[in-house]
Copies of this chain bind each other. A is one copy, B any other.
Amino acid sequence: MSIETAIVALGKTLGDRVQTGESVRALHGANESYYDEVLPDAVVFPRSTEEVALIARTCAEHGCPIVPWGTGTSLEGHALAVKGGISLDMSEMAALLEVNAEDMDCRVQPGCTREALNEELRATGLFFPVDPGANASLGGMAATRASGTTAVRYGTMRENVLGLQVVLADGRVIHTGSRARKSSAGYDLTKLIVGSEGTLGIITELTLRLQGQPEAAASAVCAFPDIDSAVAAVQATMQMGVPMARIEFLDAECVRAVNAWDRRDMPETPHLFMEFHGSEAGVAEQAETVREIVSEFGGGDFGWSTAQEERNRLWHARHNAYYAVKALRPGCRAVTTDVCVPISRLAEAVTETAAEIAQSAIPGPILGHVGDGNFHAALLIEPGHEGELAEAKRLAHAMAERALRMGGTVTGEHGVGIGKKRYMEAEHGAGWQVMAEIKRALDPGNILNPGKVVEVN
């Protein structure tokens, strides 16, 4: 009973889909954030639910950790095999299995990415709205309860996963949820697995809610004299109940980064990037309301457009903001924060954070999905520079504490992984122990992504 014997046993049935070469392990030992590389002992590429179940049974028998891997874009070291074992790469289970246009839902395998899904859906007039920017896998997105720019209108993975097929630690396969829009039939296992980061089960299929392409869409960009006025305009917009499709904040430094990266010439002050969805009349009405709010809060020219090309350009710029920001400091790594606070505290939270970062020695552009009260600072540090890492951690810590003080959360969308575990007790109190009790009940051998989210010992 050991990791090695598990890998040998797996190799016997899965052949060259169990890989132990250095380079493939290194790929699955890296992360998009600042965590040290941790190589798994092997990388396994299943092709069916039955294979995943077999892998789970084998690993359970040998006590070998299983760490699911979607596309590896998570930002808190989620997919690192910190206790060794196998990285379970879901990329060969990436099919769109079924689209029900009438019910506006679809069934998809977890390795399918959101861009691939939307590409396949294009002809149906439907789309899957959750958009974390990165071209993440739908399994990974469900596992981290991801959201992104459109959550303000369409919700997060929490609202958009209707059901799951899940392989448990002992190899049992369960189905959660149904295709009905609602149900009161017992405990909500779908919502329990969504956000569990591979620690309770391996997602092998998802039933997702789709949206109809809006009849009309428009985008708008608006510069503000300062952070406070931009964020206050967001608060007012949300409180007016305008059904924003997107409302994103970028601080001056972020705008500078985007200008450089994307060859744009926006004034280098805080900005809001916005999108409106609805009927022709509805979009016009929404935009007019927001134009008024924005001007009330000192916003500049309301750069509004219904041209698809202009919208694409805008969201391309926003989606690349993370890389644009990192390019401000070539070769750097980013410590990405992810707080979310009640809307009423947003201006205060962003302003205090910006002031604190301004006083520190490291750059930390701020951007965020402010319609939800969620924002990030990308704290840019030199790899290997202990002092800078410590400083970034100090700033990140202050942000987390502030969010908790304001009744918010230390992670609005990225998840816990290893990076946010130390705040779980502060955020959840005894609830964190309850999470561990659930983990122990469903994974008594602690083989599913051990070391993440909860503390079971």
Q: Which residues of A contact B (CB under 8 A)?
A: 100, 102-105, 144-147, 151, 156, 158-159, 168, 172-176, 178-189, 191-192, 194-196, 200, 211-212, 235, 239, 241, 279, 281-282, 285, 338, 340-344, 372-374, 403, 407-416, 420, 423-424, 427-432, 434-435, 437-438, 440-442, 453-454
By the criterion CB–CB under 8 Å, are B342 and A100 in contact?
yes
> Number of copies of this chain in the oligomer?
2
Indicate if the CB atoms of A440 and B441 lie closer than 8 Å.
yes
Task: Determine if B408 and A179 form an interchain contact, defined as CB atoms under 8 angstroms apart.
Answer: yes
Determine the distance from Cα of A188 to Cα of B196 in the docked complex, in whole angstroms.
Answer: 8
Q: Collect the chain B residues with CB atoms within 8 Å of residue A158's CB.
A: 182, 188, 191
How far in angstroms is the closest Cβ of chain B from A127? Answer: 12
In the docked arrangement, what's the CA distance between A338 and B191, Å? 22
Distance, CA A191 to CA B453, complexed state (A): 17
Nearest CB of chain B from residue A380's CB, rounded to whole Å: 23
Q: How far is the CB of A158 from chain B (nearest CB, A)?
A: 7
Per the bound structure, the CA–CA distance linking A279 and B279 in Å amounts to 13
Question: Which single residue of chain B is at the shortest CB-CB distance from A289?
Answer: B279
Q: How far is the CA of A180 from the CA of B209 in the complex (A)?
A: 23
**From A174, A186, A212, residue with most partner B Cβ within 10 Å:** A186
Beyond the given pairs A158-B182, A186-B416, 14 more chain A to chain B contacts, judged by CB atoms under 8 angstroms and listed by A's residue number, are A102-B239, A147-B182, A180-B340, A181-B342, A181-B374, A182-B374, A184-B416, A186-B195, A186-B427, A189-B431, A192-B192, A212-B241, A282-B282, A437-B441
Q: Given A241-B212, A341-B180, A343-B102, do A430 and B174 touch, yes or no (CB 8 Å)?
A: yes
